[in-house]
Structure 1
Amino acid sequence: MEKILEVNDLKISFDTYGGEVQAVRGVTFDLKKGETLAIVGESGSGKSVTTRALARLIPSPPGRIKEGEILFEGKDLTKASEREMQQIRGKKISTIFQDPMTSLNPTMKIGNQVMEGLIKHQKIPKAQAKKKTVELLELVGIPNPEQRLNQYPHQFSGGQRQRVVVAIALACNPKILIADEPTTALDVTIQAQILELMKDIQKKTDSSIIFITHDLGVVANVADRVAVMYAGKIVEIGTVDDVFYNPKHPYTWGLLGSMPTLDNTDEDLIAIPGSPPDMLKPPKGDAFAPRNEYALEIDKEMEPPMFKVSDTHYAATWLLHEYAPEVEPPAAVKRRMKGMASSASASNEEGEQS
């Protein structure tokens, strides 16, 4: 499958009164055409900073891209001028942010907010932009779109506002759609509708999606591949099946163990002990070692490289070294993996029957 984006050894820092915060410390991944890549991890792991850098939305100062490449359509975006980026943002790379009320202008009618990008990037007349706006609002499931063009954000429900934000992001048929926790502020029912909408739109437009979330349950339903981030680095990356049913990094085990499932209502959730490290002074060796009950002596001294598990699956843990002791995921994590596998096969059977 053709690669639409390549990120190589990306490093991003923020200069603060306390010193340099190393938010992203050498992230490498690619994105294929028509693919959904989920980036998961705790708050502060560097997910949002990484993806905002793709559209050069890191405020400078205090933020800066120290090193690395962001290759999009053969061009390194880290070296692109602001003028060039204005032709890419919204038109080729669009972002759906977490809270629709901060994404929408409360003083502007919804129709004008959707039309703005169409007129700016596609240079089409206002009448044509209005027609396309109605089609977009219809596409994202807004009832009576012609009447609602003249309404303001406060006249829409939370789920409808997020649908409008999706419509704005899709207005110029972007090649990459970055969804930064787009359903966190919504209730479970609306969340499911928005996720279904995004999957449906992707099929119609063949766009690539980068989906940022801390909710592994969401990932299982929307992603093709998963990148697990911790302390500004990707510690495991693979297909959904690789990461959910054959996880190799103890941090991934911790995330899976802390995820509630319908099959394990009587079982306590497993909390990952401790807290993420202070990125003003990242620890020597493996950043997860202080929280990792399976840490080896080498973890305190040397950062693990990315070990190859399979052609699609990589993980940065010394437990994959040929001389490391054999360690398996905790029993509770195995039960969750088994439960997720049975749930997935049941939903697949339902899909085939319908």
Structure 2
Amino acid sequence: MALHSRICEIFNIRYPIVLAGMGGASVPRLAAAVSNAGGLGILGAAACSPDELRAWIREVRSLTDKPFGVDTLLPASVRREVVDAGDATVDSGRPSPKELLGDCQAFAADFMRQEGLERVARPRDDAAAARGPAFFSKEFFEAQMEVVVEEKVPVYAAGLGNPGPWMARLRENGTKIMAVIGSVKHALQVAASGIDVVVAQGHDGGGHNSPIGTMALIPQVVDAMAGRIPVLGAGGITDGRGVAAAMMLGAEGAWVGTAFLATEEAGIQQFQKEVLVEYGDGDTMVSKSVTGKPARIIRNKWAQAWIDADKQPLPMPFQSMVAGPVLAAATDARRKDIAPGFAGQGMGLIKAIRPARDVLEGLVAGAEAALAGGERFR
């Protein structure tokens, strides 16, 4: 049984397998490798400056002549008013995020001292700190989108938020558009904008995800789309059986992240790839300690420290200013216990670090076998 669906026609790809746009991991060489293998590679460009994003897009084009995409964040909760709230209290009697920033940074500095971490200077971190809350602001996202439009990328994926305001300009370029959602309500909102594909990502997935489990979310979103817009299943899908399961629930393909983290081409550190092989299904947690939004990460001391101190992380984008120096230092020191990275609950299925092509071909072969094997239940 050949793995094929409307997703293949929409994106002009061989297999309905899409690389999740994972920040820091879905770099040009990984996106190109997935596209060259017959899937759709997506750049995880949320933290890229406009110049970096343009360079990434051009690098992918130098590595593949196949379709590819760009993923950025357009979270409704990160707007100009959130940044402005740094100068005044949001609610009477409650300090603003900016007023709490110093205390949280002191907490982070204490943590670093206790763990023997030394601050490291990194151009991107320093630039982000210099921009302050303007990083991950409305203006930041708009500047990224100008690059996406100007470069006429084949596919755009909104990792968070509704791409509606840019639809007309993207359509003029022939860009295909999808959005990652975590509820039926959000699916209906983005569908009304006229997007091509909805990505239903459940609670099982790594990174920012939904409070709704993958098995429950996919069929409800499929029903809500009523065949008008195809759905990609996402969240804990790490092998071909997961792809097949998503398709049996009504999805027409899969958006896959964690499985591609443990690849030679992924942009994360080697020690973080090793963690994916060594750890299992129970070694993840959902925490706001990295970005300020709930995200599934591999269990670590930094996230646990906030729980032990009964301390609330700041909202996006302020928490990134707190966590950034800690995680940069821990990454530089190769501390698996502090900076192991993001991962979904399917992590326990990863047994080795492999080329991205091998991972994609394994997903396809496993899905085809699982779907064909379903005949035995008839």
The answer to whether TM tops 0.5 is: no
Instruction: Report the TM-score when normalising by structure 1.
Output: 0.35
Instruction: Report the TM-score when normalising by structure 2.
Output: 0.33
- Pair member with larger Rg: 1
Indicate the structure with greater strand content: 1
